[in-house]
């Protein structure tokens, strides 16, 4: 679709407003309730198992099991369900808080996660698309301005971007250019290999997204774009 805001406004009279793509309120409440129910169920199950364990003298964890079983009923059941529900509710809130929210307007795209936002001016964005579970904003030199994990509905994202006149692709237009990174191959300089090796180590460590993103930016300064698949790294060169 055309990237002309004037044309987009003719096609979408509300294009002067921003469009937010995020989980609807009812969906957020539902997720939190599901986590709360799971938490309550798990702690209730712990109570049942503890009472069973104390009947088996040979079973391990007798101390904790006896401690749990010593709490009188119905306080034990009510407490287990309440505490489990609270823990599950907190877990659900944290999960929703970590999801990506996308706000698209005629002038910029705002990506928000964990209360932190980053704005990408429209003039810098050549195209947007979903690559698997990630939202990608592509620059005019085929550089990736952003590549973020995104669970939002693909069609809602496409409608938001095209409704404001941004170009949207159904897949990465440069996917055929990516090739598997092979350590110390002659195709890349030593500096690039050092960055790839550092990223490979972080790929094996949970919770290393910030380090992976920083190293991704370092590689892009070398005119290299990287994406990850099944703990492997694939790269392509920028088409400047």
Q: How confident is the model over 175-223, as pLDDT tens digits?
A: 999 999 999 999 999 999 999 999 999 998 888 888 999 999 999 999 9
The region, left, alpha or beta by phi > 0 then psi within -120 to 50, assigned to residue 51 is alpha
Do 17 and 106 lie in a common domain? yes
Distance CA 181, CA 178 (A): 9
Q: Which DSSP state fits 72?
A: P
Residues 18 and 31 both lie in one domain: no
Q: Considering 152, 169, 186, which residue would you say is the last residue of a domain?
A: 169
Q: Are residues 180 and 163 in the same domain?
A: no
Shared-domain flag, residues 31 and 84: yes
Query: Which of 80-84, 95-99, 189-193, 220-224 is least confident?
Result: 95-99
Q: What is the pTM of this model?
A: 0.69
Backbone angles phi, psi at 145, to 5 degrees: -70, -35
Residue range 21-39: average pLDDT? Answer: 66
Q: Which of 97, 119, 139 is the last residue of a domain?
A: 97
CATH number at residue 159: 2.30.29
What is the C-alpha separation between 92 and 87, in angstroms, rounded?
Answer: 9
Residues 49 and 107 reside in one and the same domain? no
Report how far residue 237's alpha carbon sits from residue 163's, in angstroms, rounded to the nearest whole number: 31
Could you tell me if 38 and 91 lie in one domain? yes
Q: What is the pLDDT of residues 100-135, one digit of tens each?
A: 889 999 999 999 888 788 999 999 999 999 999 999
Separation between Cα atoms, residue 122 and residue 148, nearest integer Å = 18
* Mean predicted confidence (pLDDT) in 148-166: 92
Burial of 139 (0-12, 13-18, 19+ CB in 10 A): middle
Give the domain-ending residue among 169, 200, 222.
169
Residue 65 CA neighbour count, 13 Å, CB half:
16
Same-domain check for residues 50 and 153: no
pLDDT of residue 11: 40
Closest CA to 23 of 150, 141, 118, 130: 150
Question: What CA dihedral angle connects 182, 131, 115 and 214, to 10 degrees?
Answer: 20
Tell me how far apart the alpha carbons of residues 7 and 11 are, in angstroms, rounded to a whole number.
6
**What sign has the CA pseudo-torsion 180, 183, 185, 189?**
positive
Structure-block tokens of residue 221: 């300064």
| 43 and 105 inside one domain | no
Quote the domain boundaries for residue 87: 25-97
Q: 164 and 126 in one domain?
A: yes
Q: Considering its fold, how many domains does the chain have in total?
A: 3
Q: Are residues 17 and 111 located together in one domain of the fold?
A: yes
Instruction: Report pLDDT for 13.
Output: 42
Same domain, 107 and 164: yes
Whether 17 has a pLDDT exceeding 70, the answer reads yes
Residue 51 and residue 159 in one domain:
no
């Amino acid at each position: 679709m055309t990237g002309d805001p004037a044309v987009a406004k003719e096609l979408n009279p509300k294009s002067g407003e921003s469009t937010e793509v995020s989980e609807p309120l009812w969906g957020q409440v539902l997720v939190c309730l599901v986590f709360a129910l799971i938490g309550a169920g798990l702690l209730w199950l712990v109570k049942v198992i503890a009472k069973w364990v104390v009947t088996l003298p040979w079973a391990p964890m007798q101390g904790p099991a006896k401690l749990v079983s010593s709490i009188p009923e119905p306080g034990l059941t009510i407490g287990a369900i309440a505490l489990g529900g609270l823990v599950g509710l907190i877990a659900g809130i944290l999960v929703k808080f970590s999801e990506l929210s996308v706000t698209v307007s005629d002038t910029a795209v705002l990506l928000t996660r964990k209360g932190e936002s980053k704005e990408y001016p429209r003039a810098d964005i050549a195209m947007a698309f979903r690559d698997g579970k990630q939202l990608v904003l592509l620059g005019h030199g085929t550089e990736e301005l952003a590549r973020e994990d995104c669970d939002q509905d693909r069609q809602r994202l496409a409608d938001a971007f095209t409704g404001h006149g941004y170009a949207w692709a159904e897949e990465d237009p440069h996917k055929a250019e990516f090739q598997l990174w092979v350590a110390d191959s002659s195709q890349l300089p030593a500096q690039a290999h050092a960055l790839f090796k550092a990223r490979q180590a972080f790929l094996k460590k949970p919770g290393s997204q910030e380090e992976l993103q920083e190293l991704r930016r370092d590689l892009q300064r070398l005119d290299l774009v990287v994406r990850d698949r099944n703990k492997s790294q694939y790269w392509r060169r920028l088409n400047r």
